[in-house]
Amino acid sequence: MRRHSYEGKDLVNVRITPDAPSYAECTPDLWYPSFPEVSIDDIALLGVKHVALDCDGTVWSFNGRQPSAPDSHLKKIEELKNDPRVASVSIATECGVPTDRILEDLGLPHGTIVIKMTEAGGYMYGKQSKRFWSRLLFDLDALDSPDEVAIIGDSRVQDIVPAASHGIRTVLVDRLQYPESNRGEGWPY
């Protein structure tokens, strides 16, 4: 399997467990310099059948308050949707853009599984919560086979570590560049 290096180190398949999650020990299953460079062949070799996409920073950049996906990213989403080895493409995001807008802008059909940050009992449940990833696995009918699901994301903290702790395969891509005017305090998170 072709491997890319991450921060000058060869990738290894290090899986973290819920009882011992560690940012430092969690290496993504695959890494690519950009989302369009993600190899569906590599993902298929991992045994992945379901691909979940992070939106903000991975497939979308934000110009002011309007998200937009570059044409190269839309083309990669089409390739994922049309590849017979990929049973489904879903969205796993914490962005506040309405679901219909996400699906329309990314060319995904209505009915596509979209897991977003939710509020329940006065608490917000995002990617750092077990509830978020359990909901994704439940909706994909993959509770017993989380290793057949991969998240493609741009953040080790938000995408890679929490997903890997639930047995989900991980694909790290470099973050889309944001316009200088968009960079505020806490960027990049």
Domain that holds residue 127: 10-175
Q: How far is CA 124 from the centre of its chain?
A: 19
Residue 63 maps to a domain: yes
Residue 188 maps to a domain: no
Domains in the chain, number: 1
Residue 2 maps to a domain: no
> Which candidate, 86, 77, 21, places its Cα nearest to that of 54?
77
How far is it between the farthest Cα atoms of the chain? Answer: 45
What integer pLDDT is reported at residue 20 of this predicted model?
41
The pTM for the full model equals 0.79
Strands 169-173 and 30-32: parallel
What integer pLDDT is reported at residue 66 of this predicted model?
63
Residue 180 maps to a domain: no
> Which candidate, 158, 174, 3, places its Cα nearest to that of 73?
174
CATH of residue 169's domain is: 3.40.50.1000
What integer pLDDT is reported at residue 84 of this predicted model?
97
What integer pLDDT is reported at residue 90 of this predicted model?
95
Q: What is the pLDDT along the chain (189 residues), one digit of tens a residue?
A: 333 333 333 333 333 344 444 555 578 999 998 899 999 999 999 999 999 999 888 888 765 456 678 899 999 999 999 999 999 999 998 887 888 888 998 999 998 999 988 766 667 788 888 889 999 999 999 999 999 999 999 988 889 999 999 999 999 998 876 444 333 444 343
Residue 181 maps to a domain: no
